[in-house]
Amino acid sequence: MKLNELARSPEAKVRKRVGRGPGSGMGKTSTRGENGQKSRSGVSIKPWFQGGQSPLYRRIPKRGFNNARFETKYATINLSDLNKYFQDGDVVTPEVLKERGIVKKQLNGIKVLGNGELERKLTVKATRFSSTAVTKIERAGGKTEVI
């Protein structure tokens, strides 16, 4: 076997050597074209990038079911507010709270939260109570009623 008899195996892949002078046919711009984003080094354009125009996923309107529309929202009130606005032996109802302007909207009902201390003996009627609110109201000698 002589050097001039060596031949490339048919399954061997030929690596494209770019930027090796005008004689190679792949010199100067190294087969990248003249100018533009893709001719620069270090550029990796994501496959979903659409050249700065508003992308397809943002142009198409939102569809489908969303449970937020059916969420039950409660107007909340803390024990500290009850302590501030009511006297001993008062009955606290959603109507009274709205009348006095303590609660703006009733929404789907009123939930009493246990933030603050209660020093008055009150009967509180509401849609829901937090567990701490119930214990604090009963500790003060009051009653809770779920409407």
Would you state the structure tokens that stand for residue 8, as one six-digit string? 């490339």
What is the number of other CB atoms lying within 10 angstroms of the CB of residue 85? 16
Q: Give the domain range for residue 140.
A: 72-146
Q: Is residue 76 part of a domain?
A: yes
Structural domains of the chain, count: 1
For residue 86, CA distances in Å to 65, 70, 146 come to: 44, 33, 19
Residues 32-59: what's their mean pLDDT?
A: 89
Q: Give the model's pLDDT for residue 40.
A: 87
Q: Give the model's pLDDT for residue 105.
A: 84
The share of the chain scoring above pLDDT 70, in percent, equals 100
Q: Is residue 52 part of a domain?
A: no
Q: Is residue 111 part of a domain?
A: yes
CATH classification at residue 138: 3.100.10.10
Q: Is residue 88 part of a domain?
A: yes
Q: Is residue 58 part of a domain?
A: no
Residue range 72-128, pLDDT digits in tens: 999 999 998 888 888 888 898 999 988 888 888 878 899 999 888 888 898 999 999
